[in-house]
Chains A and B, each alone.
Chain A
Amino acid sequence: MIILEDVHFAYDGLYTALRGVSLQIDEGESVAIMGSNGAGKTTLVKHLNGLLRPDKGRVILDGVDTKHYSVAELAREIGLVMQNPDHQLFLDSVEREVLFSLENLGYSKEESKIRCKQTLNHLGLEALSDRSPFTLSGGERKRVALASVLATQPRVLSLDEPTIGQDARQKETLAMMLNELNEKGKAVIVVTHDIEFVIENFPRTVAMANGRIIADGPTNSVLSNNEVIEMCSLTRPQLTETARCLHNVFPDVPERLTLMDDLEEIVVKILGGI
């Protein structure tokens, strides 16, 4: 559905952020993009909806080079929820914020109202619909920014660091919602440092460093690679760390990415003798 072909980009023509990125994302896929601060992740997702245009290379949507589309046209297809909600929110009520993005894309007033209400309910924001976004907590503002994009039902949804400031329950809700979108054939792209969120919810991971993609494949194998962990400034998730430490003493324990159910069985087996 979306193809990036050897995309290069430099801010002000000076600060090189992307050095030849090629990537294909299909309908219904969900992809995590990981990498250290400054690796080029945000620059990459801003190319998807035309907020940034490549200096060299192409971004192709359904076979057509996106240079032929305006940002407004791309916005109907590709939604971007930015990292800092304050860069996105500007109206004085949560409801108006969501209505604005719908009406802006040409939905009728009635249709906008219905979609707005559905989305706010879906995200547990209905009680806040009359509040000004600026009186809300950081986590709540992030959900309002998400609502304003989600309401327009884009075919591709990209989210830049959606889990920041979200508690465990909200992360679960977010994961469930993204899963529903996948099932409807929408593509979901998430930029995040949250390795546990990725392991639990994203089958594919793209790892970036210094403006390049250094690994792209099944999350399990990409995030089991020590070099990727190091180059992306990640830290090992706790359960994987446990498995690594146990492996040193009990060589039977596999030294790789480990999920809760697997580690539970491993520990039960180790302690089986007592």
Chain B
Amino acid sequence: MPLIEFADFSFKYLGAETLALRKINLRIEEGEYVVLTGPSGCGKTTLCRAINGLVPQFHRGYIAGNVIIDGKSTRDCSVAELATIAGLVFQQPENQLVTLNVEREIAFGPENLGVEPNEVRRRVEELIEMLDLEHLREKHPHEMSGGEQQRVAMAATLALKPKILVADEPTSNLDPQSAATILDLIAELNHRDMTVVLVEHRLDLVSKDASRVILMDKGSIVADGEPREILTMDLCQEIGVGIPKATQLYKRLKDRGIVLNKVPLTGAELATIVQEVKNG
């Protein structure tokens, strides 16, 4: 049984004229790292909300079909229960932080769900270590940088021990080095068997970590597969999805009749591939 399953799922926000999601059929297995991308307004965020039940339970509207998360239908499973299966991290961490210090912030979720105090304390300590938050322990979230706030928001999400991490452009507001730290952390969680669904426009930052890329356009899934296969499709340009520059150069060389033996996703990869071809 897949961990995430969309079966003919459609959704339209209350008051909207068009469907935000159109007949989505999607199966994601445990341990996958899925990057969800597509032009702005294509339904990526709505799909994330549908995974943890915010659609349709918080954002109401017309709904058809089903979303089954870890065997539970999001139509009848509460958002609180779904939060222990699929944790959501947003673009603006400050919108997600509710308490006055890091320990309280991490403990807030599990305490609300009635996890017993010793276990809460254990999780707090574990996450402070894993996300390198020791030096922030006593700090107010507003005294932290954006990257630090996002690490705290992630710790708070992970404190519920979800099986799935859903991250909606988690690094958009961060400087590139802070962004890289967050993305490395997400890749590390995936290595520890966390299933990851990540929304991102900047495929140059995330494709190297992903096992799968899904392209969306106008509420539908239009391509779904291995990153190197999807990013070389002309469809990307057609719908306005920016591919990594290294991949773009691969395509330009191919158009000139120079075919490298592998599709590069990063600058370093491209350099290695060029050397390999040169050295035969």
Instruction: Tell me the A residues contacting B by CB distance below 8 Å.
Output: 35-38, 83-84, 132, 135-140, 161, 164-171, 193, 195-196, 232-242, 244-246, 249, 260, 263-264, 267-268, 270-271, 273-274
Contacts and interface: CB of A to CB of B under 8 A. Distances in A.
B176 interface: yes
A242 B267 contact: yes
B242 interface: yes
A93 B99 CA distance: 34
Interface of B: 13, 15-16, 38-41, 45, 91-92, 145-147, 169, 172-180, 201, 204, 237, 240-242, 244-246, 248-249, 252-253, 256, 258, 266-268, 270-272, 274-275, 277-278, 280
Contacts of A195: 176
Given A165-B169, A169-B39, A235 B180 contact: yes
Given A169-B240, A242-B274, 10 more contacts: A37-B147, A138-B40, A139-B41, A164-B91, A167-B38, A168-B241, A238-B204, A239-B267, A245-B272, A264-B252
B246 A242 contact: yes
B268 A245 contact: yes
Max chain B CB contacts within 10 Å: which of A83, A137, A240?
A137
A264 B270 CA distance: 11
B20 to A, nearest CB: 9
Contact of B249 (A36, A84, A260): A260
Given A234-B175, A271-B278, A166 B249 contact: no
B252 A238 contact: no
9 contacts: A36-B175, A37-B146, A37-B175, A37-B178, A171-B242, A232-B175, A264-B253, A268-B258, A274-B277
Max chain A CB contacts within 10 Å: which of B145, B204, B249?
B249
A239 B246 contact: yes
A195 B270 CA distance: 19
At the interface, is chain A mostly helix, strand, loop or mixed?
A: helix
A245 B146 CA distance: 31
A240 B173 CA distance: 23
Nearest to B245: A238
B18 to A, nearest CB: 10
Contacts of B268: 241-242, 245
Contacts of B176: 193, 195, 233-235
Contacts of A263: 249
A264 B249 CA distance: 7
A270 B278 contact: yes
Nearest to B16: A135
Given A166-B201, A167-B240, A245 B177 contact: no
Contacts of B41: 136-137, 139-140
A238 B203 CA distance: 11
